[in-house]
A and B are shown apart, each in its own frame.
Chain A
Amino acid sequence: MEKFVLRYFNLIRAVIAVVIGIVISVFLIYLVSKDPGFSLQQFLLGPILSRSRFSNVIETASPIILCGLAIAVAFQARQFNVGAEGALYLGAAVGTAFAVSTHMPAFLHIPLVLLVAAGVGAMWGMIPGILKAKWKASELVASLMLNYVAYYLGLYLINFHFRDKQAGYLASYQLPRTAWLAQFIPDTRMHWGILISLAMALLVYLFLYHTTSGYEIRMTGFNEHFARFGGINVFKVVVLCQLILGLLAGIGGMTEVMGIHRRFLWQSQGHPGYGWDGVVVAIIGRNHPLLIIAASFFLAYLRVGGQVLNLMSDVPAEMVTVIQSIIILLITAEAFLSQWRYRIMVRQAARQEVAV
């Protein structure tokens, strides 16, 4: 039993963190709501009570997976680039502009639009990478600033050049049907984008753990001096991983537009926030693509639960933000529960003494 705990310790820790998060959410609901029992039920079970809500979870997970992958690739190289938000916003904006201004059959249109978004995202994500590689500028600060710049650039592009004045609200022209990702389950908004996300997760997994480039990225993350010493081109790694971040985030933003909204409408509500969700799931999933899938579904479930809660009761959806922060706080706390693990190890060592 104790050996099991030692081997899967990190996983057990993550699960306990999640449980604590849920417990706190229960506490908050009881604090705030006039009908806590009902609210709690809506929160925890709401997402699975109807087909459309459940599909909502999967739809919500889709861009989060992509952004989580994006952040994870950079974090694996210890590059704290949090620019997924900006890359996804600008990538989706330029992608929308392209989609709306061009006409071609779907089998060309869809990949090209995604390519444009990915390309723009890649270039945007690469900027902090180049600044870091060439001049050691903090990629954290640079990417944070560029997130804001991307937001305003995207806004300008859509509002000034692609605004649909006939729509009742601030939004771009609708995408031509040839650029839509079809929704293939009736009564839901489930679209092909989710398959793209899952496919990307698999690709990123293979990339990180079974290719030479992925190896270079991970070794740089483990110990940059070691990587350089061994001959790895660290400059290239620093730029590449952040380029990939932008690329994946761009796809994440664009698939949302193509599959759900069919227009660019992230103006008045500000950022969609998937970029920061990506940071959350990358942390929970410890930068591993397959764990990130699970973490993204988990977060999406919480999100949808929060929306249901918001809709059906008097508890604001921000509660989910509070919970997710507490969970990742507990997960990053390496020493969380470490006393327990230490005591187990001491007991194991003592037992060895006796045996000898």
Chain B
Amino acid sequence: MNAMLKSILSTEFGFAILRVMTPLLLPALGVAISGLSGATNIALEGIMLVSAFTGVMISAFTKSLILALLGGIASGIGLAALLGYFHLNLKADIILAAIALNMLAEGVTVFFLFMFTGDKGTTSSLKSLIFPALHFPLIQNIPVLGAIVSGHNVLVYGALLAVFLYWLITFKTPLGLRIRAVGQNPDAAESVGINVNRTRMWALMLSGFFGALGGLYLAMGYVSWFSPRMTAGRGWIGIAAASLGGNLPLGTFLSSLLFGVVNALANYLAPLRVPSEFIQMIPYLATAVALTIYSIQAMRKRRRRI
């Protein structure tokens, strides 16, 4: 028990939090920006899958990280754009279309996985690349903080930068203003000549961008291969995180951090002699509980004022 507590309060745990948080934060940002525009993207699960797969494949065949990065991002944006096309142009219900695209992504990735590797398990037979880790010489010598903050995969820092980017876009650019306006009153935006659909498409493509970074990190940083359904529900958890954070930059970051802490904690509970199934359940249970608590609070706040 003591040993377990000690390991939890160690810098390894702090390091693990950032590592685990990244593939939750990025899809959450994706959900958030689309949510601001009034067309919430719940296909982040699928977007992460296709970008992870694309990144791995391109890096394996071209041995180029840059191409993998670009390809992964393009595929993520592409899937998001497809969602946009079906919802905005063809008037499909965005939830149903997103469910369809998630299914499509799952099927397509396994289909081509088999085609290229003859294996339905993983791509480890291919030598795909991973993104490098960054060590900051000055920072890494700071006690405690250094071990937590330095040495992460570049995409982990990318995720933190993404939060800043998200804030910048939303509050300091005309596009961000339009996205917010479209989300609050699409008729108003339309009446001043803003193309609501085009703005929402931009928001969706941005969400595809953020999600793609998440997928790339998963298969080229968190681990170094692609396997079917490897996102394991992180796209869904991202929805909860964005909603808890009010779709705002700081809020989304904090809720993703919370989920990151809880999920990282799960890996340290082995000494408790609990069956692994219960440990694996933790991320999902925690999300459901957080969602419930958040909703109760929101309802209480409304009632208290009356």
Find the A residue at minimum CB distance from B228.
Answer: A318
- CB proximity to B under 8 Å, residues A301-356: 316, 318-322, 324-326, 328-329, 332-336, 338
Contact A153 to B104, CB < 8 A, known contacts A144-B236, A332-B97, A334-B90: no
Task: Tell me, in angstroms, the Cα distance from A336 to B95 when the chains sit together.
Answer: 17
Q: Determine whether B304 belongs to the interface, using a CB cutoff of 8 Å to chain A.
A: no
- The smallest C-beta distance from A237 to any residue of chain B, in angstroms, reads 19
Contact A152 to B280, CB < 8 A, known contacts A135-B296, A333-B90: yes
Task: Tell me, in angstroms, the Cα distance from A32 to B120 when the chains sit together.
Answer: 16
Q: Mark B274-306, 1 if CB is under 8 A from A, else 0.
A: 010110110111011001101110110000000
Q: Mark A105-134, 1 if CB is under 8 A from B, else 0.
A: 000000000000000000000000001001
Task: Tell me, in angstroms, the Cα distance from A184 to B91 when the chains sit together.
Answer: 46
Q: Determine whether B187 belongs to the interface, using a CB cutoff of 8 Å to chain A.
A: no
The answer to whether A152 touches B106, judged by C-beta atoms less than 8 angstroms apart, is no
Q: Mark A39-60, 1 if CB is under 8 A from B, else 0.
A: 0000000000000000000000
The answer to whether B295 touches A136, judged by C-beta atoms less than 8 angstroms apart, is yes
A: number of interface residues (CB 8 Å): 46
Contact A322 to B233, CB < 8 A, known contacts A329-B100, A333-B97: no
Q: Is the interface of A mostly helix, strand, loop or mixed?
A: helix
Chain B, interface size category, equals 35 or more
- The smallest C-beta distance from B159 to any residue of chain A, in angstroms, reads 21
The answer to whether B111 touches A318, judged by C-beta atoms less than 8 angstroms apart, is yes
The answer to whether B291 touches A141, judged by C-beta atoms less than 8 angstroms apart, is yes
The answer to whether B99 touches A145, judged by C-beta atoms less than 8 angstroms apart, is no
The answer to whether A319 touches B89, judged by C-beta atoms less than 8 angstroms apart, is no
Q: Determine whether B17 belongs to the interface, using a CB cutoff of 8 Å to chain A.
A: no
The answer to whether B278 touches A145, judged by C-beta atoms less than 8 angstroms apart, is no
Task: Tell me, in angstroms, the Cα distance from A321 to B112 when the chains sit together.
Answer: 13
Q: Determine whether B110 belongs to the interface, using a CB cutoff of 8 Å to chain A.
A: yes
The answer to whether B107 touches A334, judged by C-beta atoms less than 8 angstroms apart, is no
For A322, give its contact among B86, B92, B107 (CB under 8 Å): B107
The answer to whether A316 touches B277, judged by C-beta atoms less than 8 angstroms apart, is no
Q: Determine whether A300 belongs to the interface, using a CB cutoff of 8 Å to chain B.
A: no
The answer to whether A321 touches B107, judged by C-beta atoms less than 8 angstroms apart, is yes
Q: Give chain B residues whose Cβ lies under 8 Å from the Cβ of A333.
A: 86, 90-92, 97
Q: Determine whether A11 belongs to the interface, using a CB cutoff of 8 Å to chain B.
A: no
Q: Determine whether B96 belongs to the interface, using a CB cutoff of 8 Å to chain A.
A: yes
Q: Determine whether B108 belongs to the interface, using a CB cutoff of 8 Å to chain A.
A: yes
Q: Give chain A residues whose Cβ lies under 8 Å from the Cβ of B277.
A: 152-153, 155-156, 159
- CB proximity to B under 8 Å, residues A151-166: 152-153, 155-156, 159-160
For A318, give its contact among B89, B110, B295, B298 (CB under 8 Å): B110
Find the B residue at minimum CB distance from A148.
Answer: B284
- The smallest C-beta distance from B75 to any residue of chain A, in angstroms, reads 15
Q: Give chain B residues whose Cβ lies under 8 Å from the Cβ of A325.
A: 100-101, 103-104, 107
Q: Give chain B residues whose Cβ lies under 8 Å from the Cβ of A138.
A: 239-240, 243, 291
Q: Give chain A residues whose Cβ lies under 8 Å from the Cβ of B233.
A: 144-145, 148
Q: Determine whether B192 belongs to the interface, using a CB cutoff of 8 Å to chain A.
A: no
Q: Determine whether B171 belongs to the interface, using a CB cutoff of 8 Å to chain A.
A: no
Contact A131 to B292, CB < 8 A, known contacts A156-B278, A321-B103: yes
The answer to whether B284 touches A145, judged by C-beta atoms less than 8 angstroms apart, is yes
Find the A residue at minimum CB distance from B288.
Answer: A145
Q: Determine whether B5 belongs to the interface, using a CB cutoff of 8 Å to chain A.
A: no
Of residues A80, A149, A155, A336, which shows the largest number of chain B Cβ atoms within 10 Å of its Cβ?
Answer: A149
Task: Tell me, in angstroms, the Cα distance from A141 to B90 when the chains sit together.
Answer: 25
Q: Determine whether A142 belongs to the interface, using a CB cutoff of 8 Å to chain B.
A: yes
- CB proximity to A under 8 Å, residues B105-125: 106-108, 110-111, 114-115, 120
- CB proximity to B under 8 Å, residues A283-314: 283
- The smallest C-beta distance from B79 to any residue of chain A, in angstroms, reads 12
Name the 10 nearest CB pairs between A and B, nearest first. A321-B107, A333-B90, A325-B104, A135-B295, A137-B295, A335-B91, A148-B284, A156-B277, A332-B92, A145-B288
Contact sample, A vs B, 19 pairs, CB 8 Å cutoff: A131-B295, A136-B298, A141-B291, A145-B233, A145-B288, A148-B283, A152-B280, A153-B281, A279-B99, A316-B120, A318-B108, A321-B106, A322-B107, A322-B108, A325-B100, A328-B103, A332-B93, A333-B92, A334-B92
Residues of B that sit less than 8 Å from A by CB: 42, 86, 89-93, 95-97, 99-101, 103-104, 106-108, 110-111, 114-115, 120, 229, 233, 236-237, 239-240, 243, 275, 277-278, 280-281, 283-285, 287-288, 291-292, 294-296, 298-299
